[in-house]
Amino acid sequence: QEKLLEVKDLRVSFFTYAGEVQAVRGVSFHVNKGEAVGIVGESGCGKSVTSQSIMRLIPWPPGKIVGGQILFQGKDLVNATEQEMEKIRGNEIGMIFQDPMTSLNPTMTIGRQIAEGLIKHQGLSKEQARAKAIEMLGKVGIPSPEKRVDQYPHEFSGGMRQRVMIAIALACNPKLLIADEPTTALDVTIQAQIIDLMRDLQKDMDTSIILITHDLGVVADLCERVIVMYAGKVVEVGTARDIFHKPQHPYTWGLLRSVPRLDARKKEPLSPIYGTPPDLLNPPKGCGFAARCEYCMKVCLEQEPPVTDLGNGHQVACWLQHPQAPKPERLQVKEV
């Protein structure tokens, strides 16, 4: 399989008055051509910072990519010039965000906002771009696109606005679509429709997708592979099948326990993961999850868990999995 994107040992820090906040601490993963990959984790785990790094949208100051590589079609985006990035953003890599209202321009018609990128990146004439805008609105399931194309964002519902965002993001037929919490602001029915739409378009246009979300349920519907992030690191990665049916990291177990089950006859109470993530101003020496992990051993506090390869691309960074792990010496979990 051909790799479209390869992130290697990415490190991103925010330099604040208090010191260096290490938001992303050596993240590596890849995305194959035409593949949908989910990045999941709680807010602050570094998933959005990772995606913003790929687009080179980390604001300096205070944020900065301090190490690693982001190979997109073999080219390292970490060293790309701003000019090169402008050609890539919106053209080769499209992006959609949680709140379309903040990313759409309220003073511009939807048609012009879709056309902008087509004129800028693909050299289409105004008329061609407008025709393509109408085609895209139809493609994302907006009724009577010929009429809607001249309307403004406020004339669309939340779900329809997200469809418009997808139309904008896909108009230039990007090779990669980064979707950061694209359905979080929408109600459950609309959420499912948007995910269906993304799946259809992905198959249709052979676009690779990175879906960033705190919601494992959303990932199950769309993604072939899942990357679980915690405290600025990848703690587990595998096929969606392995992550959902054979998860190996205590944090992934916690995430799975907190997925609401729509099919459950009786509403089971969700079990949240207690405690909060560590302060990345002073990252813990050992495992980042130790303070919240009910299986925490002495070694977990002292040494970073190495990555164990379980085959089939399933990797986990946890001492429980490591064949050479010292004998589990149960520790009482310290106060959280």
Q: How far is the CB of 293 from Mg ion (least distance, A)?
A: 23
Cis bond leading into 247, ω under 30°?
no
Question: In whole angstroms, what is the distance from residue 74 CA to residue 62 CA?
Answer: 28
Q: Which value, in Å, is the radius of gyration of the alpha carbons in the chain? A: 21
Task: Kindly tell me which of 181 and 304 has the beta carbon lying closer to ligand SF4.
Answer: 304
Strand order in the sheet with 63-72: 19-32, 3-16, 63-72, 75-76
Which of 238-256 are b and which e, b meaning 16 or more Cβ less than 10 Å from the residue's Cβ?
Answer: bbbebbbeebbbbbbbbbb
Could you tell me if 248 and 255 are in contact, meaning their C-beta atoms sit under 8 angstroms apart? Answer: no
Q: Give whichever of 210 and 226 is closer to ligand SF4, judged by the CB atom.
A: 226
Query: Minimum CB separation from ligand SF4 for residue 323, in Å?
Result: 14
88 binds, among ligand SF4, Mg ion, none (CB under 5 to 8 A by kind): none
Residue 45 Cβ, how far from ligand SF4 at the closest point, in Å?
A: 14
Looking at beta carbons only, is 19 or 306 nearer to ligand SF4?
Answer: 306
DSSP secondary structure of 224-262: SEEEEEETTEEEEEEEHHHHHHS--SHHHHHHHHTS--T
Quick check: 222 and 17 in contact, CB under 8 A?
no
Contacts to ligand SF4 by CB under 6 A: 249-250, 287, 289-290, 293, 295-297, 300, 305, 318-320
The smaller minimum CB distance to Mg ion, of residues 13 and 48, is found at: 48
Whichever of 152 and 295 has its CB closer to ligand SF4, that residue is 295
The one-letter amino acid at 108? M
- What phi and psi, each to the nearest 5 degrees, are found at residue 164? -65, -45
Residue nearest Mg ion by beta-carbon distance: 48
Q: How many other C-beta atoms lie within 10 A of the C-beta of residue 291? A: 20
Q: For the CB of residue 226, give the shortest distance to ligand SF4 in the complex, in Å.
A: 17
Of residues 214 and 322, the one with the C-beta less far from Mg ion: 214
97/156 with CB nearer Mg ion: 97
Binding residues with Mg ion: total (CB under 5 A): 1
List the one residue from 13, 48, 202, 248 that touches Mg ion (CB under 5 A). Answer: 48
Measured CA to CA, the distance from residue 89 to residue 257 in angstroms comes to 37
Q: Using the structure block, give the residue that is written with the tokens 């010496």.
A: 329
User: Which range, of 46-54, 226-234, 237-245, 271-279, touches Mg ion by CB under 5 A?
Assistant: 46-54
Q: Which does 293 bind (CB under 5 to 8 A by kind): Mg ion, ligand SF4, none?
A: ligand SF4
Region binding Mg ion by CB under 5 A among candidate stretches 43-51, 146-154, 215-223, 278-286: 43-51
Q: Measured from the CB of residue 130, what is the shortest distance to ligand SF4 in angstroms? A: 53
Residues 6 or more apart from 227 whose CB is under 8 A from it?
29, 37, 38, 39, 40, 234, 236, 237
Taking the least distance from each CB to ligand SF4, the nearer of 23 and 291 is 291
How many CA atoms lie less than 13 Å away from 184 in the CB half-sphere? 18
Q: Which does 48 bind (CB under 5 to 8 A by kind): Mg ion, ligand SF4, none?
A: Mg ion
The distance of closest approach from Cβ of residue 45 to Mg ion in the complex, given in angstroms and rounded to an integer, is 9
- Please, what is the minimum distance in Å from the beta carbon of residue 19 to ligand SF4? 24
Binding residues for Mg ion, rule: CB under 5 A, are 48
